Chain A
Amino acid sequence: GQQLNQNPQSMFIQEGEDVSMNCTSSSIFNTWLWYKQDPGEGPVLLIALYKAGELTSNGRLTAQFGITRKDSFLNISASIPSDVGIYFCAGVIYNQGGKLIFGQGTELSVKP
């Protein structure tokens, strides 16, 4: 079945540093989504990507949908303590009713 490989699994960085994480798959997806989940909460949608090659920003966050539609990256610039959490990528499959396939998650820790 479809799988998303998300890397890295965890990151420990200093406040102010930039962060980069990525997801790859052997399958093609119609849409890529990036979510952030805080402990004990549901995931919050950060960025949605619909077109191959699309580069989208949301404040300090930037994400791109790979040209092959099989990968995506998320960058966070000038990290701050509230960026701490788990980031998930998710690919959407339209012909499966919009089902999401999730990556394993990247746990981000930011040291003040």
Chain B
Amino acid sequence: GAVVSQHPSRVICKSGTSVKIECRSLDFQATTMFWYRQFPKQSLMLMATSNEGSKATYEQGVEKDKFLINHASLTLSTLTVTSAHPEDSSFYICSASYSLGEQYFGPGTRLTVT
């Protein structure tokens, strides 16, 4: 149980374009979803927390107009990287939680901006 999927697993886009990443909880309803970014050999950095039907809460230093998060249902959250630039290239991982405590992570999305 507690399976989270992400799509796509890999995406390459040109500088200036936008990319949408989907995160789905497959076998449970997620009251909260989280978006992380991870650089090579480093720990996960929380970008934002989203609750279904409300605006996401962004961590300090994360541009909310650049990283648009939508949590339309209890099983789906999306992260859109707008006007992507090479420095946005990274590994993006979502997680989902149905109660305070455990978070279940998706497999991640490798974004490369050329």
Residues on A facing B (Cβ under 8 Å): 30-31, 33, 35, 40-45, 48, 50, 88, 90, 92, 94, 97-100, 102-105
Contacts and interface: CB of A to CB of B under 8 A. Distances in A.
A92 B100 contact: yes
A99 B49 contact: yes
A55 to B, nearest CB: 18
Interface of B: 2, 4, 6, 32, 34, 42-44, 46, 49, 51, 57, 91, 93, 95, 97, 100-108, 110
Contacts of A45: 2, 102-105
Contacts, number: 65
Given A40-B91, A100-B44, 15 more contacts: A31-B100, A31-B102, A35-B105, A41-B108, A42-B105, A45-B103, A50-B101, A88-B43, A94-B101, A97-B32, A98-B49, A98-B103, A99-B34, A100-B95, A105-B42
Nearest to A98: B100
B110 A105 contact: no
The secondary structure that dominates the B interface is strand
Contact of A98 (B6, B32, B107, B108): B32
A102 B44 CA distance: 7
Contact of A43 (B32, B44, B100): B44
B101 A31 contact: yes
A74 to B, nearest CB: 16
A97 B43 contact: no
B102 A30 contact: no
Nearest to B99: A98
